[in-house]
Amino acid sequence: MLDLVIYSDYPLDGYLNHFEAYMFATTEKHYTKHYDFGEMLIIDEDSYEYLSMKDLKIRKKSLTKFNQTLKSKLKISDLKSNNVKIAMIDITDETNLFDENECNQLWKKLSSCFIEFCKKTNHVGVMVQHFYQNGRPPHIHYMIDKVKYSKNYDEFQNYLINGMEN
């Protein structure tokens, strides 16, 4: 049976593009750490889209689209790490088998919840599967815009946990 480990918001220092290169696997240093790719979900203010991560051109184009959406929403011209909230969810399996169908079903549930969260809270966001990374259990990264001076930490995590309890 699969279980989740939900981490708190991760404070990023430095440049956002270094983390994004890892998250979107757009540089050789990062994409060679994966033996396959799943999909990603991008949510803007009016819609959402699931995209394959198998093609490097799609990953790069998706990263550009997400950054443009962030800049537009935040009304800024230069993205910095303090403009976003980033976190990760590990998928664990006591048998260590990680059935791919179960992982994908869990992804669909989490991504549906992420869509619902972003719409209700007026966030733009991206969620990516990292199910096939050498040396790591399957995990999911997500990033949402951060309203300036926001004191709300772990927004999606709390939303997710509260939703699971109901």
DSSP per-residue string spanning 114-136:
HHHHHHHHT--EEEEEE-SBTTS
CB distance 80 to 52 below 8 Å: no
Determine how many CB atoms are found less than 10 A away from the CB of residue 32: 10
Q: Quick one: residue 138, left, alpha or beta (phi over 0 = left, psi -120 to 50 = alpha)?
A: beta
Residue 98 has pLDDT above 60, yes or no: yes
Residue 41 to residue 84: CA distance in whole angstroms: 16
End-to-end CA distance of the chain: 21
Instruction: Please give the pLDDT value at position 154.
Output: 93
Residue 4 has pLDDT above 80, yes or no: yes
Residue 141 to residue 90: CA distance in whole angstroms: 9
158 three-class SS: helix
- Confidence (pTM): 0.91
pLDDT band at 150 (very low <50, low <70, confident <90, very high): low
Q: What is the pLDDT of residues 106-144, one digit of tens each?
A: 999 999 999 999 999 999 999 999 988 888 889 999 999
